[in-house]
Amino acid sequence: MILGGVEAGGTKFVCAAGTGPEDLIRESIPTTTPAETLGRAVRFFERHKVAMLGIASFGPLDLDPQSPAFGFIAATPKPGWNHVDLRGHFHRALGVPVSIDTDVNAAALAEHRWGAAKGLDNLLYLTVGTGIGGGALIAGEPLHGLAHPEMGHIRVPHDRTADPFPGCCPYHADCLEGLASGPAMERRWGVRAEALPRHHPGWALESRYLALGLANLVCTLSPRRIVMGGGVMHNLDIFPMIRHELNGLLGGYATAPEIVPPALGDDTGVLGALILAQRISA
């Protein structure tokens, strides 16, 4: 049975059909208008005759099965995508069962099944890029509650003497995302994170903020492993810096788990979407 998975992102929709990492057929579609983007994605899945579809999407999403807006993108600043019925569109167009979750919960599922956290039923997946987002598995299941987590928006100490940058989150100014996302680094230092020299003090500050965020997430969720992906984390030098800061912050009181990059690279999201499709029949 051929399954479909789509990683719905702000710049591209990655569509894939197959049964797992070995036989995946992919197509990347730029995110333009919903009509164009969803239309191209639907044609991909029609061509490959998928029997079920999983969607791993940027958010915020309405994931309450009792809600009339279940499977919709909720209020988003992304032009044209506000309140788009993502799940309903695919379901009506393809006539197959469709499952949806956040891109980060899906990434956690993929790294748990095939990647850097195999068999660890409690894990945290954090992405640090255009935004900061977190997904988690608790007892093997993606974490939801009243809504889905918004881990990028936690508040951390911000020493304005050492770092006068006010933060760039449009909702909270200096939440973790406002202080430590890719755009925050770019606005603070005037260059994109990829272009910031490896020994620039910006990396020490970035490690400090990410460790402060992780300290809070560790004290709350106690994950067995933390997988950190996203554009900013492509600088692998900061993994040991974050570990060092985190151990200092925990002060021997709570236990720091291993912090590792994703093992599935760019496929993490779309493989997670495929697992969402598989789980429909499970």
- Which spans of this chain sit near a second copy (rule: CB under 8 A)? 60, 122, 134, 138-139, 141, 143-158, 171-172, 174, 212, 215-217, 219-224, 249-255, 257
Q: How far is the CB of 165 from a second copy (least distance, A)?
A: 15
Q: CB 99 → a second copy: shortest distance, Å?
A: 17
Percent composition of the chain: helix, strand, coil (DSSP 3-state, to 5): 40, 20, 40
Tell me which amino acid residue 190 is.
G
Please report the beta strands in the chain, taking only residues with DSSP state E, as ranges in sequence order. Answer: 3-8, 12-18, 25-30, 52-57, 98-102, 123-128, 132-138, 141-142, 225-229, 258-260
Cβ neighbors of 143 (< 8 A, separation 6 or more) are 105, 135, 136, 137, 149, 221
Q: Which is nearer to a second copy, 173 or 191 (CB)?
A: 173
> Do you find a cis peptide bond into 60, omega within 30 degrees of 0?
yes
| Helix/strand/coil for 8 | strand
In angstroms, give the least distance from the CB of 59 to a second copy: 10
At closest approach, how far in Å is the CB of 111 from a second copy?
Answer: 15
Please report how close the Cβ of residue 238 comes to a second copy at its closest, in angstroms: 19
Complex with a second copy: residue 185 or 249, whichever CB lies closer: 249
Which C-beta is closer to a second copy: that of 94 or that of 275?
A: 275
Residue 184 to residue 169: CA distance in whole angstroms: 8
Are the C-beta atoms of residues 52 and 99 closer than 8 Å to each other? yes
Q: Which class for 120: exposed (0-12), middle (13-18), buried (19 or more C-beta within 10 A)?
A: middle
Nearer to a second copy, 56 or 132 (CB): 132
Between residues 128 and 212, which has the closer beta carbon with respect to a second copy?
212
| CB 141 to a second copy: min, Å | 6
275 touches 269 (CB < 8 A): no
Q: Which is nearer to a second copy, 4 or 134 (CB)?
A: 134
